[in-house]
Structure 1
């Protein structure tokens, strides 16, 4: 049973997916080499042949396609039917298979314990208010020694984007605390695959501070194996552009974690 936040975000993501937001566009030009880069840019994974992988709140036909090409048995859980259809479309394109499940990342009770070798979570944790709920669910379905890759918004800059350029920098003005981001235009503006600009209501978002993330992972039984900041912009780009902003501030962070022994 979805709660009010999940129902609201489900509707928003359905609209975003149907409007062609980039996260809903399947990766249809992968080979084994590029697939590996998509799901393991940090080089943390070995052979994936026969591994049971859960792409958590990661519909859209992107990571699922890459893992399947690398020989994994892939399950995708996502709130949104259109996102899951993209995964099925990608699997059909490559002649691979994928299991799609519609549901909330905070409830993995449909899966048996120790079901997965890897849980791969894209930038979705910030759409739920309590990170610890997700970590507890992930720990319940990962096998001992299994890997959890978590990417999320950098909490230090969450709510500060390229349009906040003031001539000198990108000022921080929000309180640094866990909680919902309020007081800004909730719409996402983007170009669809045909280049047409779209403006769609975005989902509710929540900041999780770095201490909440680290302590929550440790408390759920994970050992943090690596941490990365994704700052891959161009410092020479025009100030106020996404390329310049992402050179000055890392918008995303990534954890690789290993589940402790039972």
Structure 2
């Protein structure tokens, strides 16, 4: 089985177990967004600065690997024309459920971002891409495709794992480093066995060069960024940043 299909099945299981990134927003949260009371995250804890967002009324927005009914309903409440692409059937189901419940339209596509994205050149004003490319091996392909499908001047907001988490076991064991970087289970069967044992899907560490320089090489101008932590655990308690969020412009 292709590793991206393994990840889709894994995420579907996590959702059944109550995974926080698979819980759709409530009607009350949607109603609050209609009143202008909202925020969204690309990383575990820090809200995206409001200054990052363009005018959203009438904007064409793509949620890339952003299914689950958490961000797209807010974009819809703010007047955007929303499309979401996610490889998890359960995440797509949640998007469609919230859209039916709240009465807005969304184009929800089950798709694999390791493949060419099923959109024409210059289709979107904004791509919102929360932490998810840790589930794919080649992030450069994603940056090139994002650049292709954005309109001139369009924005890419991306949440990125900086790789530090891959040095440790899930419990972080008081900061004991257990693994080396890069973390690539397709090239090390011991890592694949570890991920299978923990039901973690197939995950990959990525470097600053891949994540941020990769956007620049794809043609983006880096506009802003911030760091975030895991939100809990040993590394968080010691203030160790484990994620970046970036804002880039085509």
Matching residue of 1:176? 181
- Please state if 1:250 is matched with 2:241: yes
Moved over 4 A (4+): 37-40, 185-188
Structure-2 change in CA distance of 1:172 and 1:243 (3 Å): closer
For 1:26, the equivalent position in structure 2 comes to 24
- Give the TM-score of the pair, scaled to structure 2: 0.84
Q: Distance in 1 between matches of 2:169 and 2:78?
A: 35
Question: Following the alignment from structure 1 to structure 2, what is the Cα–Cα distance between the partners of residues 25 and 231?
Answer: 21
Moved more, 108-117 or 13-22: 13-22
Question: Using the alignment, how far apart are the partners of 1:68 and 1:143 within structure 2?
Answer: 19
Greater per-residue helix proportion: 2
Is there any run of 5+ residues in structure 2 with no aligned partner, and where? Answer: none
Q: Deviations over 1:93-124 (max 9, x none)?
A: 32222110011112344211000001111111
How far the C-alpha of 1:136 sits from its partner, in A, is 1.1
Could you tell me how far apart the structure 2 residues matched to 1:162 and 1:82 are?
25
**Cα root mean square deviation, aligned:** 2.3
The Cα of 1:185 is off from its aligned counterpart by: 5.0
Change (3 A) 1:37 1:121: closer
Q: 1:128 is matched with which residue?
A: 136
Structure 1 residue 162 displacement after superposition: 6.4
Compute the TM-score of the two structures, normalised by the length of structure 1: 0.81
Question: Structure 1 residues 119-128 or 207-216, which shifts more?
Answer: 207-216
Residue correspondence of structure 1 range 173-252 to structure 2 within 5 A: 173-177=178-182, 179-180=184-185, 182=191, 184-186=194-196, 201-231=199-229, 233=231, 242=232, 245-248=235-238, 249-252=240-243
Offset, 1:187:
5.8
Q: Which of the pair is proportionally richer in strand? A: 1
Three-state SS of the structure 2 residue aligned to 1:157 is helix
CA distance in 1 between partners of 2:69 and 2:79 (Å) = 16
Structure 2 residue aligned with 1:57: 65
- Check 1:42–1:146 CA distance in 2 against 1; reply closer, same or farther (3 A cut): same
